[in-house]
């Protein structure tokens, strides 16, 4: 485990697995660790030399995404892998809501005016009421569902695009009771990936929460951005490469899109010559929409539930499907 374990954490685990030994490790390379006695590993990097971990049966990832495990030897074994889907849902949805409202109330421009030390033309910086607008959410896991709930609370109409729109119930974990859309009742309409052009054409805001897989690479490129309403906005919070960066920069420069918020990039960390630094009307953040204080207690809630399931041979929450990639 990579976090500090309190007495309460240890007691909670002991109630589930009597006699369990919990070990906190701080290492840079798990392939240098002798894990011969480890049954369960809570981690972000996963060791490739699995011969050092002969008893390993389950890996709990710290991240909601698992694209860093493409081609990993763990998929050729019986080791279960679960992600942290749901643990970031509320903070990332808050990021989506706040950046959306920042754009609609012209906050980037209003913050810039301070440097001029002059009184701006207020009419030129007027905000807009979002009630009655349409938000389209691509990917409807924990983050997408909580985003839908928050945006609907602003009076927005919600559309959803997901791999299988007939499957509307949320199957993942949710450590924030009372949040999200577990039964899939919020969206006014559902779309499949091959309907993405029709989908984006209706949206004042497109929110990209879908995981990074070969099927979602360049999911939104120049053609899809051209189908969006003139003056629409886009928010990307999942992984770089899902929205084509060059096409997005062009759409913002041309005015086809009025604004965007981007929290993830093809190359991370970004270099100083990344074109987004010079793009207008772009809120750019260093992949931290899901970074929040007290993350470990939230993840531990999910881990404890899955540990109980693991010991009773029940289905694990957030099990990663190697073929789907998430």
User: What amino acid positions are annotated as catalytic residues?
Assistant: 239, 268, 287
CB–CB of 145/181 below 8 Å? yes
The closest of 162, 161, 160 to 152, measured between CA atoms, is 160
Handedness of CA 218, 197, 318, 149 (dihedral sign): positive
**Number of separate helices (H) and strands (E) present in the chain:** 8, 10
The per-residue DSSP string of 68-115 comes to GGTT-GGGGSS-EEE--TTTTHHHHHHHHHHHHHHHHTTHHHHHHHGG
Is 150 exposed, middle or buried, given 0-12, 13-18 or 19+ CB atoms closer than 10 A?
buried
Please give the Cα distance from 203 to 221 (Å, whole number): 16
């Amino acid at each position: 485990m990579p976090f500090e374990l309190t007495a309460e954490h240890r007691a909670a685990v002991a109630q589930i697995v009597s006699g369990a030994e919990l070990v906190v490790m701080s290492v840079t390379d798990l392939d240098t660790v002798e894990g011969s006695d480890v049954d369960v590993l809570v981690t972000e990097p996963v060791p490739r030399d699995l011969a050092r971990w002969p008893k390993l049966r389950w890996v709990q990832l710290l991240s909601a995404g698992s694209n860093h495990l493409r081609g990993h030897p763990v998929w050729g074994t019986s080791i279960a892998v679960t992600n942290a889907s749901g643990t970031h849902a509320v903070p990332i949805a808050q990021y989506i809501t706040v950046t959306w409202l920042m754009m609609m109330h012209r906050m980037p421009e209003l913050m810039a005016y301070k440097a001029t030390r002059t009184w701006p033309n207020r009419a030129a910086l007027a905000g807009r009421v979002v009630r009655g607008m349409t938000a389209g959410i691509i990917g409807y896991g924990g983050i997408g569902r909580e985003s839908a709930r928050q945006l609907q609370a602003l009076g927005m109409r919600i559309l959803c695009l997901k791999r299988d729109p007939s499957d509307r119930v949320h199957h993942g974990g949710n450590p924030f009771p009372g949040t999200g859309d577990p039964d899939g009742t919020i969206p006014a309409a559902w779309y499949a990936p091959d309907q993405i052009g029709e989908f984006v054409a209706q949206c004042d805001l497109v929110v990209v929460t879908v995981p990074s897989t070969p099927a979602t690479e360049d999911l939104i490129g120049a053609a899809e951005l051209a189908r969006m309403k003139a003056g629409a906005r886009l928010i990307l919070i999942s992984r770089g490469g899902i929205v084509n960066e060059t096409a997005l920069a062009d759409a913002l420069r041309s005015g086809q899109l009025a604004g965007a918020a981007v929290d993830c990039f093809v190359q991370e960390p970004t270099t100083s010559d990344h074109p987004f630094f010079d793009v207008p009307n772009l809120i750019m953040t260093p992949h931290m929409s899901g970074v929040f204080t007290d993350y470990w207690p939230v993840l531990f809630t999910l881990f404890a539930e899955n540990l109980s399931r693991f010991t009773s041979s029940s289905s694990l929450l957030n099990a990663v499907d190697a073929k789907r990639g998430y």
